[in-house]
Amino acid sequence: MVNKVEYPVDQVRHWLEPGPVVLLSSHWQGEHNIMTLGWHTILAFSPSLVGCMIDAGNHSYEMIRQSGECVINLPTVDMAETVAGIGNCDGDDLDKFSRFNLTPEASQRVAAPGIAECHASFECRLHDDALASRYNFLIFEVVHARVKPEPAWPQTLHYAGEGVFRTDGEVLDVSHLFTKVS
């Protein structure tokens, strides 16, 4: 067995990033924007609540605060360069849909567009912003969801820091061990 070694605490995101990197699309006063987001977490199942950490300096932050909505889009591994590119440019001076050849997709319940190239789009309304001023943490309720039927488990991106993505591995089904009834 190999012993653990000390690790820089400011780099623990390498191990603990919560889930797949997403593309957050927003709309406010006739303008669309997209940002790359890795800091999100599921908070509740019903209603479906998702917490997102969005830096206040990000152009999307103010658009989302003003509109009270966004779309969480799930990109797949083939979009890695697009995801990185979107995360490394500012939306206040360019149209990221055009710049990255992405197709805005009309949403059903919010004004923000989905991204057609992504595997899934989750339309969200701001549910709670009590932690926004202190932590830039916004809680959204997913009010409508659209997911491509195939593949059932697309390969997604997980940010490890410093420009490195991991991808998820094989699916392990141990559902037979789950005996608790929800």
Amino acid at 19: G
Closest CA to 114 of 1, 22, 3, 9: 22
Task: Provide the residue range defining the domain that includes 32.
Answer: 19-177
Residues 41-72: pLDDT tens digits?
Answer: 999 988 999 999 999 999 999 999 999 999 99
Alpha-carbon distance of 150 to 144, in angstroms, equals: 19
Please tell me the predicted confidence (pLDDT) of residue 69: 98
Closest CA to 17 of 42, 43, 38, 44: 38
* Counted domains in the chain: 1
Is the residue at 5 inside a domain? Answer: no
Please tell me the predicted confidence (pLDDT) of residue 3: 87
Q: Across all residues in the chain, what is the average pLDDT?
A: 92
Is the residue at 14 inside a domain? Answer: no
Residues 126-136: pLDDT tens digits?
Answer: 999 999 999 99
Is the residue at 38 inside a domain? Answer: yes
Instruction: With beta carbons less than 8 A apart as the criterion, state whether 92 and 59 touch.
Output: yes
Instruction: With beta carbons less than 8 A apart as the criterion, state whether 60 and 66 touch.
Output: no
Is the residue at 7 inside a domain? Answer: no
Alpha-carbon distance of 171 to 153, in angstroms, equals: 8
pTM exceeds 0.75 for this model: yes
Q: Which residue reads 């360019």 in tokens?
A: 94
Is the residue at 119 inside a domain? Answer: yes
Closest CA to 69 of 36, 38, 33: 33
CATH number at residue 68: 2.30.110.10
**Burial grade of 138 (CB within 10 A; 0-12, 13-18, 19 or more):** buried
